[in-house]
A and B are shown apart, each in its own frame.
Chain A
Amino acid sequence: MTDIIQKVKNLSIGFRSKKGDEILILKNISTNIKKGETVGIVGESGSGKSTLALAMMGYVKHGLYTIGGECQFNSSNLLKMKSKDLEKIRGRKIAMIPQNAGQALTPNLKIGYQIDEALQLHSDFDEKEREKKISELLNKVRLPSPETIALRYPHELSGGQQQRVAVAMALAGTPDLLLLDEPTTGLDVTTQAHVLELLNFIAKDTGTSMVYVSHDLGAIAQVSDRIIVMYSGEIVLEGPSRDILKRPIHPYTHGLLKSIPKLSLAGLPESMPGSQPQPGTIQSGCSFFDRCNFSDENCKNNSPQLEFLKDLNTSVRCFNYEKLVNESQASQTINKIKNKSQDKEILNLSEVSISYAKQKLLDQIFNRISDDNPTVKDININIKKGETIALVGESGSGKSTILKSIAGLLRTKDGLIRFDENRNLSSDLKERDPNDLRIIQLIFQNPDESLNPNHTVEEIIAQPLKLYFGLKGEELKKNIIDLLQKVRLGEFYTSRYPRQLSGGEKQRVAVARAFAAKPDIILCDEVTSALDVSVQAAVLNLLQQLKEDFGTTYIFVSHDLAVVRAISDRVAVLYQGRLCEVGPSNDVYKFPSHPYTEVLLGAVLEPDPDIKPKLVAEDIVEERPPEKGCSFQGRCSRIVGDICKKEIPPWQLTDSGNAIRCHIPIKELQKEQF
């Protein structure tokens, strides 16, 4: 048994409610972390995965306390240890890599200093050795030219580089166990793929055990040997990573895998009903009971125990897992989306450019914007009535900026936004009349922020109804209830406040509010990225249903290519505020494509251990778009020569119908990318 490094035994952690009841966040968790293995802990928000990871380094969040059980590290219980002894273990034996490295690094200390600090604390090297060790560590996490990086401040690095520094700091104490709490969640797709690849390399290279906590099955699939699936504070499934992803024998995991959109499949995945129960609400029976398709009477009254299946080498907490054992791979049923777009053009952007540059005094006086190299430039898109067009790109690609200008929240520098073929929309709110404002509605990324916390659902939905249609009294009430039913929420939600709703319910209210204005166009800004996977599919399905009912046009902004694949008819790929590729989504996802699209597609993580991300380009972050030539020249792996740096590439049409803006002839792209 010497190869077990961390042993969690019957661990329960919880808090006391105002009424004095004990509410459990973790319920009787037992698991072992072996030497050299990477364990992925996956679950939705509120499943207790972070609490478990923190307990593994002897930390219990303020307000929570240990109710029972222990976390054994080298046969001593971390949860009962004195803080002096814990200090010796944390950093040296167990290190943690936080979710947001940008916030975890001290902003006013140089990178090298911060790593040195970690070395001083956790190692016995003298000054000379530490100097060498710093560059060694920075080299190990593959940061370019360690000597210069060490002298920089955290804000001078990109998100991915900051995360690498955090990894280097964690490695400074040569720990036996690394805890990673959502280490790639805030990063761009391409950066995320690179960081994961680095983590894989480090795990192999140093033999460190890792516990990788994430909500993202795609990321977990890439790094872990073993997966623990958590639901409502319990382990519901635990086993070798491949088996769990290929043959999930717990209904929750089964449903979860089915609800993730895949690159290879167009159309919307099946959604899982309901949401995770709040801690303390489940009294008896299985905690997954009300969302389960396989449940029976037994599940309602008795709680299943975690059962170890020897032949599958998997533990499962379900009475009816046998029903799933025989079903080989989670066969994904896809609701094909019906493209009801008409030929009529509803919105046209021509030559739109937007600048964030600070205006000079003279320009302010003449009320104009002068900037030779604006953030967004040359955007020409026409959007047909009833279609869903997606704008994709990494952060900084200008996709949200374009959305803001369409909504009238940000002034454009040049260009026209034309509605319905003949009406010009000003990009300034004050110059739009109420009807212009009504036809375009927004749905935001984070429903926590987009709903006023002091308004009830009724008041929230009433706002546009009162503003645009002047509804009052009974009629207003009737309309609100109508809208709530359309987004699959009942009448009794009217008197609730946003804080009493789950993430998915909140987003539904936001959707209802947008539809209340009877808009022609709805702008969706990353509408599903703040939601849990199982809820995401449900919201996507709802949006699709509403679109079919009302004939609304969606402009959908997302960084998640799989989600875009699922819902959109057409895709526009943006890099540094310039269009790279536009076309029907089926064709954009097929090669040949723009080199940047190729990079994006290659970096998508799928919850399948057999599909590895392809890392084509470096994950450098560019501050500004280049002055001349192709916008992607800085990172392109297929650069042909001077022409890319000097001339703006021409639009080329492929056989399948998408337009690519590249100097490389389509035929050659085809040869290289197949």
Chain B
Amino acid sequence: MKLDNIYKEEKKSAFAKLSEIIITMASRPSGLIGLSILVFHIILAFISPYIAPHDFKAIDPTLMLQAPSAEYWFGTDDLGRDVFTRTILGGRTALTITFFGSLIALLWGGLLGIFCGLVGGKIDDVVMRIVDAFLSIPWILAMLLIVSLLGTSTEVLIPALGFFYGKGIVRVARAATHDVIAKDFIVSARARGHSNFSIIWNEIIPNVRDAILVEGAMRWSWMLLGFSSLSFLGFGVSPPTPDWGLMISNARGLMSFAYWAVIAPIVGLSSLIIGINLTADAFAKALGIDRSTKAPV
């Protein structure tokens, strides 16, 4: 029995740390399920252009609303396009846009929150009131405005989504910074004369990183839902780009007799959201953060 080892751990490489976190995540059933779903979706997103059996925009009036068959696994839609092809490619669109969107949200929200938490005073007051003002605007209305002004290209959607989902992260990052800021090691760094930048980079970020990452992971799944809602309303990516929200929107009227056209994107969207949520929860638990006590902002 080597109990000594319980209390002795050496510094690990980033890769070793990451793999340890992933192993901890996978050791719970919920984490394992979440991770598998997410990994499945990510792999699918990468390989979908190569495995897609049909052309996603090939319209064929003779093949309208075919039931699932050996040729068309998930059937065809009202324009005769292959639903299977469009579903796997739709995941690619959704994942790419929301992944980069949440990355942007994480970066600006996290950094601004940390900065406000550290600096405090007037600057903090002003910035937080502006953030509060934005929080009070229904995001979907604001998105509609942006999209109608600037169009629905990916270059517009990613930063716009990133901006609207970053507001909440500002608050989380600021609160997490406040927890750390009163600690003596920050006082000590200040007394030594480190610059604000150095304090943020060396002292604060390592201590708030976990909380912000978990928050970012949660935002990702929310953003996915938000992005799909936009598409559903017709303000997401423009046709014929395959997209789940758009597919659901197009097929929902035909649900009574061509259920396959709507079920496939729904399953895709909800499984990805569940996958991300479960993964984020497992991630938080693996890092030792109890998310259940934190109310969403």
Known: A21-B3, A409-B187, A454-B206. 4 other contacts (CB 8 A): A429-B191, A429-B193, A463-B189, A500-B8
A452–B6 touching, CB < 8 Å: no
B10–A449 touching, CB < 8 Å: no
Considering only CB atoms, which chain B residue lies closest to A18 in the complex?
B6
Interface centre among A283, A452, A455, A467 (most CB of B within 10 A): A452
> Which 3 pairs, one residue from A and one from B, show the smallest C-beta to C-beta distance?
A454-B206, A450-B184, A437-B193
- Distance from B206 Cβ to chain A, minimum over Cβ atoms (Å): 4
Q: Does B129 contact A (CB under 8 A)?
A: no
Cβ–Cβ < 8 Å partners of A280 in chain B: 3, 6
- Which of these, B3, B10, B11, B187, contacts A281 with CB under 8 Å? B3
Listed A/B pairs (9) with beta-carbon separation below 8 Å: A18-B6, A283-B1, A409-B190, A437-B192, A442-B188, A444-B184, A450-B187, A463-B189, A496-B11
- Distance from B189 Cβ to chain A, minimum over Cβ atoms (Å): 7
Given known A434-B193, A463-B189, contact A21–B8 (CB-CB < 8 A): no
Instruction: Tell me the A417-442 residues at the B interface (CB within 8 Å).
Output: 429, 432, 434, 437-438, 440-442
Given known A280-B3, A281-B3, A283-B1, contact A450–B10 (CB-CB < 8 A): no
Cβ–Cβ < 8 Å partners of A23 in chain B: 3
- Distance from A352 Cβ to chain B, minimum over Cβ atoms (Å): 18
Cβ–Cβ < 8 Å partners of A464 in chain B: 192
Q: Does A517 contact B (CB under 8 A)?
A: yes
Interface string of A456-499 (1 = CB under 8 A from B): 10000001100110000000000000000000000000011100
Cβ–Cβ < 8 Å partners of B191 in chain A: 407-409, 429, 437, 440-442
CA distance A529 to B271 in the complex (A): 55
CA distance A517 to B193 in the complex (A): 12
Considering only CB atoms, which chain B residue lies closest to A435 in the complex?
B193
Instruction: Tell me the B195-235 residues at the A interface (CB within 8 Å).
Output: 198, 202-203, 206-207
Q: Does B9 contact A (CB under 8 A)?
A: yes
- Distance from A576 Cβ to chain B, minimum over Cβ atoms (Å): 24
- Which of these, A283, A452, A467, A496, contacts B193 with CB under 8 Å? A467
A-B contacts, CB under 8 A, total: 83
A463–B206 touching, CB < 8 Å: no
Cβ–Cβ < 8 Å partners of A454 in chain B: 206-207
Q: Does A278 contact B (CB under 8 A)?
A: yes
A446–B206 touching, CB < 8 Å: no
CA distance A449 to B185 in the complex (A): 6
Q: Does A108 contact B (CB under 8 A)?
A: no
Considering only CB atoms, which chain A residue lies closest to B11 in the complex?
A495
Considering only CB atoms, which chain B residue lies closest to A462 in the complex?
B202
B11–A450 touching, CB < 8 Å: no
Considering only CB atoms, which chain A residue lies closest to B182 in the complex?
A449
Q: Does B194 contact A (CB under 8 A)?
A: yes
How many residues of A are counted as interface, with CB atoms below 8 angstroms from the partner's CB atoms?
41
Q: Does B155 contact A (CB under 8 A)?
A: no
Given known A409-B191, A463-B192, contact A281–B207 (CB-CB < 8 A): no
Considering only CB atoms, which chain B residue lies closest to A442 in the complex?
B191
Cβ–Cβ < 8 Å partners of B192 in chain A: 437-438, 441, 463-464, 467-468, 517
B193–A17 touching, CB < 8 Å: no
A500–B9 touching, CB < 8 Å: yes
Q: Does B294 contact A (CB under 8 A)?
A: no
Instruction: Tell me the A182-222 residues at the B interface (CB within 8 Å).
Output: none
Q: Does B7 contact A (CB under 8 A)?
A: yes
Q: Does B71 contact A (CB under 8 A)?
A: no
Instruction: Tell me the B1-56 residues at the A interface (CB within 8 Å).
Output: 1, 3-4, 6-11
Given known A409-B187, A496-B10, A500-B9, contact A432–B1 (CB-CB < 8 A): no
Cβ–Cβ < 8 Å partners of B194 in chain A: 463, 467
Considering only CB atoms, which chain B residue lies closest to A514 in the complex?
B188
B11–A456 touching, CB < 8 Å: yes
B185–A452 touching, CB < 8 Å: yes
CA distance A408 to B187 in the complex (A): 11
Given known A444-B184, A495-B11, contact A17–B6 (CB-CB < 8 A): yes
Cβ–Cβ < 8 Å partners of A468 in chain B: 192
Cβ–Cβ < 8 Å partners of A497 in chain B: 9, 11
B184–A449 touching, CB < 8 Å: yes
- Distance from A437 Cβ to chain B, minimum over Cβ atoms (Å): 4
CA distance A429 to B193 in the complex (A): 7
CA distance A407 to B207 in the complex (A): 25
- Distance from A126 Cβ to chain B, minimum over Cβ atoms (Å): 43
Q: Does A453 contact B (CB under 8 A)?
A: yes
B1–A278 touching, CB < 8 Å: no
- Distance from B157 Cβ to chain A, minimum over Cβ atoms (Å): 35
Cβ–Cβ < 8 Å partners of B207 in chain A: 452-454
Considering only CB atoms, which chain A residue lies closest to B7 in the complex?
A278
- Which of these, A449, A451, A452, contacts B206 with CB under 8 Å? A452
